[in-house]
């Protein structure tokens, strides 16, 4: 009996290992009969290169011809997750901070997958003639950011690295479009932002980078779904990972083609798309790993310690695990 139990444990452990590290384990749940896919509404942002390429290529529509597939664009992650929480979406992509705020607010969403971190894809910017030179210089300054976005955690870490307290700065919560307008007219002193907004302003007015995400925030990207959808359509989620990883291969192998697909759809200048893709490492999509859960728990703990979310959250409780046959 002991030998049989040991072999079962080894089999489970081996099955939980993936390229790049172990995948976080959870108690297996019984598999439910697969349901036919009737509707799939996907939320995305302009910088979601993999999702945009899948959309433009029509790969999902070919794979599920009987399903009604809709693509809905959002300016930032918090708005996308709100739509997911109220049942207006089944699947979407955000940065690291939005899921923490959603979980703290009791939203029943689950992490289903992730892309590698992109620390060069976000930054704290100041005008090129700004007297601010170090993160410590942010004391008493107005910093624009989207509340609950990946830029929020970037700024939290930047403040900490600069030897400041959160109360030492004046966060100005604005959407990316409004933040850019405020930044250009210099009604704020700095702007915490991510690509492609970062790339667009960089090419337009050449601001100075006070800091990017290196050493501050890994800027992980997460795919989330409603729990009901994930539990009923695990096979569809696997198929989504396959098509998203296929899109990433296109980015790596045919950069010019990827730039055209994204620029044609998004309306972004090809130079902006090229710049933000240069900052983006290879980004295959796969299940959540233990190391990623630990990284995300640090994000959640930081927001709770600052009183920016109302209660502590256990990230692992919101990580979806495929049902066991």
Provide the CA 92 distance to its chain's centre, in angstroms: 9
The CA distance from 133 to 126, in Å, is 9
Task: Fold for 18-116+220-318, please state it.
Answer: D-Maltodextrin-Binding Protein; domain 2 (3.40.190)
Alpha helices in the chain (DSSP H): 2-15, 49-57, 59-63, 77-85, 97-104, 150-161, 176-184, 197-205, 227-232, 234-253, 255-266, 270-278, 290-305
- Please state whether beta strands 109-115 and 221-226 pair in parallel, antiparallel, or not at all (unpaired): antiparallel
Q: Fold identical between 18-116+220-318 and 119-212?
A: yes
The CA distance from 136 to 139, in Å, is 6
Cβ within 8 Å of residue 1, ≥6 positions away = none
DSSP letter assigned to residue 153: H
How confident is the prediction along the chain (325 residues), in pLDDT tens digits per residue? 334 443 333 333 333 323 334 444 344 444 455 578 999 999 998 879 999 999 999 999 999 999 999 999 998 899 999 999 999 999 999 999 999 999 999 999 999 999 999 999 999 999 999 999 999 999 999 999 999 989 999 999 999 999 999 999 999 999 999 999 999 999 999 999 999 999 999 999 999 999 999 988 767 899 999 999 999 999 999 999 999 999 999 999 999 999 999 999 888 999 999 999 999 999 999 999 999 999 999 999 999 999 999 999 999 999 998 765 5
The CA distance from 76 to 44, in Å, is 9
What confidence score (pLDDT) does residue 34 get?
58
Level-2 CATH architecture, domain 119-212:
3-Layer(aba) Sandwich (3.40)
Give the start-to-end residue ranges of the domains of the chain: 18-116+220-318, 119-212
Cβ within 8 Å of residue 157, ≥6 positions away = 216, 217, 302
């Amino acid at each position: 009996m002991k030998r049989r139990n040991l072999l079962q444990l080894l089999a489970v452990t081996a099955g939980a290992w993936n390229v790049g590290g172990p995948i976080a384990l959870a108690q297996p749940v019984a598999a439910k009969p697969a349901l036919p896919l009737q509707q799939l509404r996907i939320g995305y942002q302009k910088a979601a290169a993999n999702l945009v390429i899948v959309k433009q290529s029509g790969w999902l529509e070919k794979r599920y011809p009987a399903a009604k597939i809709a693509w809905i664009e959002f300016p930032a992650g918090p708005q996308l997750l709100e739509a997911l929480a109220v049942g207006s979406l089944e699947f979407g992509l955000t940065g690291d901070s939005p899921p923490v705020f959603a979980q703290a607010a009791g939203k029943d969403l689950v992490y289903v997958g992730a892309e590698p971190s992109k620390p060069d894809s976000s930054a704290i910017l100041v005008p090129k003639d700004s007297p601010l030179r170090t993160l410590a210089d942010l004391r008493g300054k107005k910093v624009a950011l989207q509340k609950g976005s990946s830029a929020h955690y970037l700024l939290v870490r930047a403040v900490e690295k600069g030897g400041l307290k959160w109360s030492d700065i004046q966060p100005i919560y604005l959407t990316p479009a409004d933040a850019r307008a405020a930044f250009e007219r210099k009604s704020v002193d700095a702007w915490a932002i991510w690509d492609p907004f970062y790339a667009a302003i960089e090419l337009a007015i050449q601001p100075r980078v006070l800091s990017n995400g290196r050493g501050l925030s890994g800027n992980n990207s997460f795919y989330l779904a409603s729990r009901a959808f994930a539990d009923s359509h695990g096979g569809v989620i696997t198929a989504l990972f396959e098509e998203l990883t296929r899109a990433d291969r296109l980015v790596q192998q045919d950069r010019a083609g990827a730039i055209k697909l994204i620029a044609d759809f998004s309306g972004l200048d090809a130079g902006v798309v090229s710049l933000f893709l240069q900052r983006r490492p290879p980004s295959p999509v796969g299940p959540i790993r233990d190391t990623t859960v630990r990284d995300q728990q640090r994000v959640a703990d930081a927001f709770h310690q600052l009183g920016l979310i109302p209660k502590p959250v256990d990230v692992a409780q919101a990580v979806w695990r495929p049902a066991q046959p």
